[in-house]
Amino acid sequence: MKSLDDFTATVLKGYLEALAAALCMNIYVVGLNQLYDIQIDKINKPGLPLAAGEFSVATGVFLVVTFLIMSFSIGIRSGSVPLMCALVVSFLLGSAYSIEAPLLRWKRHALLAASCILFVRAILVQLAFFAHMQQHVLARPLAATKSLVFATLFMCCFSAVIALFKDIPDVDGDRDFGIQSLSVRLGPQRVYQLCIGILLTAYGAATVVGASSTNLIQKIITVFGHGLLALTLWQRSRHFEVENQARVTSFYMFIWKLFYAEYFLIPFVQ
């Protein structure tokens, strides 16, 4: 949106359609992965509903299929081609990532697994949802903006970190079941250091981009905001222990908080 005048009921409806469809598709992808990882999760994440036996496999299948249908239904009802493209590609990649079948189960291979996560979260989500709002909802021609380019590049870094870090607590189960993650190959400590390095570099670049803004308010918000998030990350990283499962999980959730916090800063990158 270029101004507050663009914030109408139609825009809100278009935004909520994209958000709801994406949320349902995300539940499908995560749920499908848990269905195929029950035995692994009994080692890595025994508290998950399927691994713990709180949900039966039949219940899991029902929920996964239901949310998949809901996601596609919302997308079809919206009439948005960009949104439907995002949903279809997310479905295909999410399925290929988890399903145990010839040429599939891409999570077994570090590069393929990371590529799936990076492409969906960093590239597909940014470009397709931008096209959905700009072209379908606002009926404007597509034109790349500084915010869009910045968001895509920055989220590439973040998505790579999420793809790498999520495997740190799963080394034992992944090794036993032949999942060749980078944490299995290099060791959790090296992968952790790589993740912190990538994030701090991304925040440094974001600060430079923010400082280049000609608008003083936007410059202050982007520089101070990214600097504060980087400082918080650095301080939190000093107390990390790769052997402590609780701290690893807590830090992983902290990275997700940083990921979503970035969406409050992206609109100020102009």
Alpha helices in 37-145 (DSSP H): 38-44, 49-52, 57-78, 81-98, 110-118, 125-131
Average pLDDT over residues 128-153: 88
Residues contacting residue 158 through CB under 8 Å, at least 6 positions apart: 121, 122, 199, 202, 255, 258, 259, 262
Could you report the per-residue pLDDT of 205-258, keeping only the tens digit for each? Answer: 999 999 998 889 999 999 999 999 999 999 999 888 888 888 888 899 999 999
Given pLDDT bands bounded at 50, 70 and 90, which one contains residue 1? very low
Q: Of residues 247 and 80, which shows the higher confidence score?
A: 80
Q: What is the pLDDT of residue 94?
A: 94
Average pLDDT over residues 46-75: 94
Calculate the alpha carbon distances from 141 to 84, 134, 138, 233 in Å. 18, 7, 9, 38
- Distance of alpha carbon 37 from alpha carbon 161, whole angstroms: 21
The residue among 97, 116, 99 whose CA lies nearest residue 36 is 99
Given pLDDT bands bounded at 50, 70 and 90, which one contains residue 166? confident
> What is the sign of the dihedral through the CA atoms of 100, 102, 106 and 111?
positive
Given pLDDT bands bounded at 50, 70 and 90, which one contains residue 5? low
Q: Of residues 239 and 151, which shows the higher confidence score?
A: 151
Confidence (pTM): 0.81
- Distance of alpha carbon 171 from alpha carbon 169, whole angstroms: 6
pLDDT at residue 3 is higher than 60: no
pLDDT at residue 2 is higher than 60: no
Q: Tell me the helix, strand and coil percentages in the chain, rounded to 5.
A: 80, 0, 20
